[in-house]
């Protein structure tokens, strides 16, 4: 069965092995990277080749990288061919989140609206601070940084691909 790119979330890349027992070291390349440790089925991709893995013995974190151990691949030589592969999960395998929580892949690219100003741009990035996440919106008003807190976030409509904010006065610099 050939998987379509739209079915997959590419979350990391195999950067090497760890130890002699076949552990793979995976570096994240997406904000939803921690999802790799919670999904049982992984897909390894390299130049048109797809390898699906349905079982793993363990997941561990080591210096910001995820260590994977795949069932049946118990020595370093058995996993060498996976170095350099992108690691993905099927979108439908992502565990459901509680109401009002979203994966980044669901939010990326949504059109951002403010109740007063209308369209303010596209939701292009998110970063984490000690207090909360911050959405980065780029558009007509330049780069707008919006704290991802309930006080400003009114509604996320994934079907309409839009997010509605009620931004405080002065957050957006009008021309």
Check pLDDT > 80 for residue 174: no
Residues 128 and 135: their CA atoms lie apart, in Å, by 9
pTM over 0.85: no
Residue 128 CB coordination number (10 Å): 10
How does pLDDT run across 25-55, given as a tens digit for each residue? 999 887 887 888 788 788 888 876 676 676 5
Q: What is the pLDDT of residues 70-116, one digit of tens each?
A: 888 888 998 998 999 999 888 888 888 888 888 888 999 999 999 99
Residue at 172 is within a domain: no
**Residue that is last in its domain, among 92, 127, 150:** 92
| Number of domains within the chain | 2
Quick check: 66 and 60 in contact, CB under 8 A?
yes
- Would the pLDDT of 59 be above 70? no
Per-residue model confidence (pLDDT) at position 36: 81
Q: Does 173 fall in a domain? A: no
CATH number, residue 135: 2.30.30.240
150 falls within a domain: yes
Domain end among 69, 92, 115 = 92
The reply to whether 151 falls in a domain is yes
**pLDDT value at residue 4:** 63
- The token duo for 161 is 């691909």
Task: For residues 135 and 113, state if they share a domain.
Answer: yes
Residue 175 belongs to some domain of the structure: no
């Amino acid at each position: 069965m050939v998987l379509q790119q739209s079915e997959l979330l590419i979350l990391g890349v195999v950067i090497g092995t760890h130890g002699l027992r076949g552990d793979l070291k995976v570096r994240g390349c997406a904000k939803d990277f921690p999802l790799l440790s919670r999904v049982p089925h992984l897909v390894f991709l390299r130049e048109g080749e797809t390898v699906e893995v349905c079982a793993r013995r363990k997941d561990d974190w080591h210096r910001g990288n995820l260590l994977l151990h795949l069932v049946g691949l118990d020595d370093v030589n058995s996993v060498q061919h996976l170095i350099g592969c992108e690691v993905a999960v099927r979108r439908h395998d992502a565990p459901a989140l509680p109401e009002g929580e979203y994966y980044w892949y669901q939010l990326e690219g949504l059109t951002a609206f403010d109740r007063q100003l209308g369209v303010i741009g596209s939701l292009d990035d998110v970063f984490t601070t000690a207090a909360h996440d911050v959405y980065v919106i780029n558009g007509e008003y330049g780069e707008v940084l919006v704290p991802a807190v309930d006080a400003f976030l009114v509604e996320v409509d994934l079907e309409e691909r839009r997010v509605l904010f009620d931004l405080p006065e002065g957050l957006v610099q009008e021309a």
